[in-house]
Amino acid sequence: MISLLALRELRSLFAMPSTWFVLAVLQFIFTWFFLEILQTFLDIQPQLAQLANAPGVTATVASPLFNMVALLLMMLVPMYTMRLIAEERRNQTLALLLSAPLSNRHIVLGKFFGLLIFMLILMAGVPLMLCSLALGTNLDQGLLFSNMLGLLLLTASYIAVGLYVSALTSQPVIAAIGTLAVLVGLWLADIAAADENSSLHLISPLYHFRNFNSGLLDSADAAYFVIFTAMFLLLAMQRLHNNRRYG
Amino acid sequence: MSNATSSDYQTTGPANQSTGQCSGDITLSARNLTRSFGNRQVIHNVSLEIRRGEVLGLLGHNGAGKSTTLQMLTGCLLPDDAEKNESSIAICGIDLLHHPVQAKAHIGYLPETPPLYRELSVNDYLIFAARLRGIKSAAVADALAQTRQRCGLETVGNKIIGTLSKGYQQRIGIAQAIIHRPSLIVLDEPTVGLDPTQIRDIRHLIRELGNSSSVILSTHLLGEVESVCDRVEIMQHGKLIYGDTSEHMQRQGSVSGFIISLRNPPALGELENITGVSSVEQLSATQFRVLHAPDVNPGDTLLQLSAQHNWQLEQLTPLQATLEEVFVKITSEEQASADLARTGEKQ
């Protein structure tokens, strides 16, 4: 049932012309940024060669690129999560799901995985571009892996927030702005806290992503993302229940 | 996770695609449904029961609480005291409030606005709806072909739903509600927005569905109830105020009389003198409203006289009671009996 709902979500997304437009524009932005960083790397390569223990191509090119994608996600995810439940409610298609033999868990997880797969397709170009570098040099596969894992967890947590906010309203625009506010708020909490040991850092997904970004796999960071995602998914399920209860 | 849930449904293969069929005779039994929005109570103690093969019309004005009741019957809304076990809804004997997933497999629901994903094609959408209700993929093609044929959607299978007319969209809405052959079909104003031919086709379809399943439909059109329903429940201000077979209800509300138009009309007095006629009112130069006692029908006499005296009868239409009139009659009777009871108590 979950896969059925996820597939429906994907089918609807790819049936819309706007999806293909976003896909094209994003590939263009990613590629541009990639070539820009690559050019910078080639320019400073002679100087790097003189350093002892110099950062390699993966650290100089891949890490900034993944970091940029992580920042873009903050704006990208609300654009897609706003549709998930708010639009179904506005178009009154939610009744189909509510009257079908499904539990709230199926509805929420179906939508979550559907959009997660879509976002991964949207970002698939980034690791592929980086892999193309393997033709000319040796890549640090460990760093690439930790970045990809970090990005996956970050996307999942953002989608969970967006899904919950989308479940709160019947106006997709409010869902989008609300999600953006939460995500930017969490980001600001991280960069605005001056103190290195401030606990404000800990609540921000981007702070935890930074370790993945620099190639550090810490189970605490992974646990943070899993708990964060699960919490918002549970809240969304509860919200759907309250939807039946309070109308 | 998905495998575990789909095994709950009883579909096994193409031969048995009747997911929603249950053996019991009573497909829906709802007891003491009450529902408030905020402080305003919109549904008061509604109880309903439907047998297999019955078409029940839920009749009422806009805002009477029909849609809210249907939403509760399909599990989209919970009754107020769902936790306290004061109200109950059983679909084919399965408790909807405590085992919603199993119970909902027997329901097909068309809400007021058809729940359509406008960006999908008709086929994709109906296949999704069928799989959602637990039809196995092997049986989906059969169910799809049959449903499209029943709802007149053969020619539009590959069209995008958003590009189709309102009438087609309404039919797709009905198609998604019946594709899994549920025991209980709930239709909220199914003929709104359709043209007269489509309305006739849909009513025919509903009648047909009523042979194998139970159907509840809500409407504010009396004609709809007359043509398709076996039984009527009238709803007003969130209460069921009257329930009976639809023939009985028509008799309740019917006015004995007809409208006639004569191209060469006689004097008013001549019409009034026909046996059985109680009063005649002239509507225009050629049209008259003739009222008569309910037990004698002067129609035959009138026809004979018209032929004898060359009145040139053009039209003879029995008077139809409007929902308004039935309402007024039924509600005033309710009121009167309540008053009577009260005065009786005083004495």
Mean pLDDT estimate for chain B = 81
- Range from B6-20, B56-70, B276-290 that averages highest in pLDDT: B56-70
Whether B2-251 shares its CATH topology with B255-318 is answered no
Average pLDDT over residues A119-134: 89
**Chain B hits for A114, Cβ within 8 Å:** none
Mutate to test the interface with A, among B109, B123, B132, B216 (most CBs of A within 10 A): B132
CA A79, distance to chain mean position in Å, is 12
**Chain B hits for A2, Cβ within 8 Å:** 1-2
What pLDDT, on the 0 to 100 scale, is given for residue B15?
A: 35
Domain range spanning residue A135?
21-105+124-246
Q: Summarize pLDDT for B105-122 with one digit per residue, the tens.
A: 899 999 988 999 999 999
How far B84 CA sits from the closest chain A CA (Å)?
A: 13
Contact call for residues B25 and B90 (beta carbons, < 8 A): no
In a domain, A203, yes or no: yes
Q: Residue B135 and residue B138: Cα distance in Å, rounded? A: 8
In a domain, A111, yes or no: no
Say whether A244 and B78 touch across the interface (CB within 8 A).
Answer: yes
Output phi, psi for B219, to 5 deg.
-160, 160
In a domain, A4, yes or no: no
Token code pair at residue A113: 């995985």
CB-based contact (8 Å) between B169 and chain A?
no
What pLDDT, on the 0 to 100 scale, is given for residue B13?
A: 37
Say whether B1 and A15 touch across the interface (CB within 8 A).
Answer: no
Q: Residue A26 and residue A123: Cα distance in Å, rounded? A: 8
The whole model's pTM is what?
A: 0.82
CB-based contact (8 Å) between B160 and chain A?
yes
In degrees, rounded to 5, the angle at the alpha carbon of residue B200 between the alpha carbons of residues B195 and B204 is 145
What pLDDT, on the 0 to 100 scale, is given for residue B25?
A: 81
Helix (H, G, I), strand (E, B) or coil at B34: strand
Helix and strand numbers, DSSP H then E, in chain A? 12, 0
Give the number of C-alpha atoms closer than 13 A to the C-alpha of residue A205, restricted to the C-beta side: 27
Q: Would you say domain B255-318 falls under CATH 3.30.70? A: yes
Q: What is the ipTM of this complex?
A: 0.87
N- to C-terminal Cα separation, chain A: 25
Instruction: For residue B16, name the pLDDT band (cuts at 50, 70, 90).
Output: very low
Of A3, A15, A95, the CB nearest to B115: A95
Average pLDDT over residues B312-316: 82
Q: Summarize pLDDT for B203-255 with one digit per residue, the tens.
A: 888 888 888 889 999 988 777 787 888 888 888 888 888 777 766 666 665 66
What pLDDT, on the 0 to 100 scale, is given for residue B320?
A: 65
Q: Which DSSP helix (H) or strand (E) runs through A197? A: none
Nearest residue to B52 (alpha-carbon basis) of B273, B241, B216, B234: B216
Q: Summarize pLDDT for B152-199 with one digit per residue, the tens.
A: 888 988 999 999 988 889 889 999 999 998 989 999 988 887 788 888
Nearest residue to A166 (alpha-carbon basis) of A226, A246, A92, A80: A80
Q: Residue B120 and residue B176: Cα distance in Å, rounded? A: 13
**Chain A hits for B20, Cβ within 8 Å:** none
CB-based contact (8 Å) between B5 and chain A?
yes
What pLDDT, on the 0 to 100 scale, is given for residue A52?
A: 72
Residue ranges with strand state E in B19-106: 26-37, 40-51, 55-59, 88-91, 94-95
Say whether B102 and A101 touch across the interface (CB within 8 A).
Answer: yes
What pLDDT, on the 0 to 100 scale, is given for residue B236?
A: 82
**Chain B hits for A247, Cβ within 8 Å:** 37, 77
Q: Which chain A residue has the Cα nearest residue B103?
A: A101
Q: Summarize pLDDT for A178-222 with one digit per residue, the tens.
A: 999 999 999 988 888 777 777 778 888 988 998 898 888 889 899
Count CB neighbours of B307 within 10 A.
11
Q: Is the pLDDT of residue A135 over 90?
A: no
Q: Which chain A residue has the Cα nearest residue B101?
A: A101
In a domain, A115, yes or no: no
**Chain A hits for B107, Cβ within 8 Å:** 99
Q: Which CATH class is domain B2-251?
A: alpha beta
What pLDDT, on the 0 to 100 scale, is given for residue A79?
A: 92
The string over A178-210, giving b where at least 16 C-beta atoms fall within 10 Å of a residue's C-beta and e elsewhere, is: bbbebbeebbebbeebeeeeeebbeebbbbbbb
Of B1, B104, B111, the CB nearest to A100: B104
Q: Which residue has the higher pLDDT, A228 or B321?
A: A228
In a domain, A8, yes or no: no
What pLDDT, on the 0 to 100 scale, is given for residue A146?
A: 92
Question: What is the β-pairing status of strands B26-37 and B313-318?
Answer: unpaired
Of A94, A99, A245, the CB nearest to B107: A99
How far A158 CA sits from the closest chain B CA (Å)?
A: 24
In a domain, A11, yes or no: no
Q: Residue A78 and residue B14: Cα distance in Å, rounded? A: 42
Average pLDDT over residues A104-124: 94
What pLDDT, on the 0 to 100 scale, is given for residue B243?
A: 76
Number of domains composing chain A: 1
Of B76, B134, B160, the CB nearest to A101: B134
Name the residue type at position B133.
R
The pLDDT > 90 percentage for chain A reads: 57
Of B37, B109, B120, the CB nearest to A95: B109
Mean pLDDT estimate for chain A = 90
DSSP B84: G
How far B104 CA sits from the closest chain A CA (Å)?
A: 5
Residue spans of the domains in chain B: they are 2-251, 255-318
